[in-house]
A and B are shown apart, each in its own frame.
Chain A
Amino acid sequence: MSRIVVITSGKGGVGKTTTAASLAAGLARAGHRTAVVDFDVGLRNLDLVMGCERRVVFDFVNVINGDARLNQALIKDKRLSNLSILPASQTRDKDALTPDGVERVLDELRADFDYVICDSPAGIERGAHLASYHADDAIVVTNPEVSSVRDSDRVLGLLASRTRRAEQGDDPVREHLLLTRYDPQRVKKGDMLSVEDVQEILAINLLGVIPESQSVLNASNAGIPVVLEDGEDAGQAYNDAIARYLGEDRPHRFLQAERRGLFGRMFGG
């Protein structure tokens, strides 16, 4: 049974697209047929992060409008054979997405793939609503700061009330928290909320904590999903999160500041 997973947050710039790319690549590497769909029509980015921007011919809106078949628009990843990308249109806006069109495309993807990852745009309007509407699972990407946490709380409320599962009275959307750009040093200084603070406020299952890392930006610029960078802490953290999503029990890492000097003595043992 295939699952539709939405990557959402409310707030922009917290790491939705990075997460969508890494989750898709990680699931594909684990042997699952995976498609990742860019819902950010007009501000398309996913193709850049996936490194396929020069191979985009048709896009999501073309498929919805019937200008192209789904298979013509899907781009096969060059690294992972069972990973496909459906890019957004850059020349249109979110109004080009119709509820019927989105449903048709997702149904078609469901038939061919084990996981369909929907990269939601920021906000809570049409684009974000349509990206979340058909979701079975939601990964709520949150930064450890108050405005991001509040927006995530709002998004969780919408997931519980305005999705297909909520409207039809099915089992609710399974919600997961992914905390990104986590900097234990700044948490310790009190500049950032801690994992415990965020979890306490949002009260949902913690899928993983991705440390703030230069490697994320480097990987994005190079068009490589950071999960494929096995030598980097952020890549390992994404790998852990994906393993947990697939049901594996792994301890959380990268939560403590590296011990140096004074800190080492204060927190020794």
Chain B
Amino acid sequence: MASRPPDASSSEAFELKGRMATLTVVRVLTTDVDALIRQLTEKLEEAPRLLRGAPMILDLDGVDGGALDLQRLAGEMRALGAAPVAVRGNGVEPGRLASAGLGVLPAEEEREANGQSAGRAARREAAPASPGPAAAASRVIDSPVRSGQQIYARGGSLVVLGPVGPGAEVLADGDVHIYGALRGRALAGVQGNAGASIFCLGLEAELVSVAGEYQVSERFAAELIGRPARVHLDEQAGLRIEAFGKS
């Protein structure tokens, strides 16, 4: 423990904490800034609420970082409403990062989705015992979600302790759990997690979606309406809605 300065009688101004946080990673595949900005603009228009203001990491593993005009890219992204915070990858000098207002993440610290190289895994095991990556926290809403409200659990699951009203929208990168009737829209795995599910105690939804596959209520089987149900993606059958529990 660091020793306290002798006059530290007043409350401390800050604490430093290491926290796992989920950030959107932008894997840069070209050094052509114009093309990057054009496509990013399109993406932002598709899903403005999800991406605007979202902190993003630029992953430069796939390109020659030295050839990319980072300062311009970061500036243009900020003008679009995105928030690039750091760069991960090789070949970028610290001076250029500072002038672009970005931090740096060493390439191997980020957990790979499919554990690419054995060497990397071994190195992580050999590293001094640090806590493993924490599961992303669930966002818990302890009141009904009302018509016109939109609630998004970024990077984790969403738990609603009450009903979701008609015209309300609940979204999560992970699962959506609703301990009440679902009468609005629910979207799980909105960043593409096909393993996500929606659970609700009464299916009266307007629309359900997992990883972009959606179904509107018109197409729900009549015997499912009002029942406790799980919505998930099946590799063959696509979006499946199944009742659970007895009744």
Contact = CB atoms under 8 A, between A and B. Distances in A.
Given A201-B163, A203-B162, A153 B181 contact: no
A150 B181 CA distance: 14
A153 B147 contact: yes
Contacts of A153: 146-147, 165-168
Given A200-B181, A201-B183, A157 B163 contact: no
A252 interface: no
Say what secondary structure dominates the interface of chain B: loop
A150 B144 contact: no
Contact of A157 (B146, B162, B180, B183): B146
B147 A157 contact: yes
B141 to A, nearest CB: 11
Given A154-B148, A157-B148, A201 B143 contact: no
Chain A contact-residue range equals 10 to 19
B146 A154 contact: yes
A48 interface: no
A9 to B, nearest CB: 13
Contacts of B149: 157, 161
A160 B151 CA distance: 14
A203 B167 contact: no
Nearest to B144: A203
Contact of B166 (A150, A158, A160, A203): A150
B200 to A, nearest CB: 14
Given A154-B167, A156-B146, A201-B183, 20 more contacts: A150-B147, A150-B166, A153-B147, A153-B166, A153-B167, A154-B147, A154-B148, A157-B146, A157-B149, A157-B165, A158-B146, A158-B148, A160-B146, A161-B149, A200-B163, A201-B163, A201-B165, A201-B166, A203-B144, A203-B180
Interface of A: 150-151, 153-154, 156-158, 160-161, 200-203
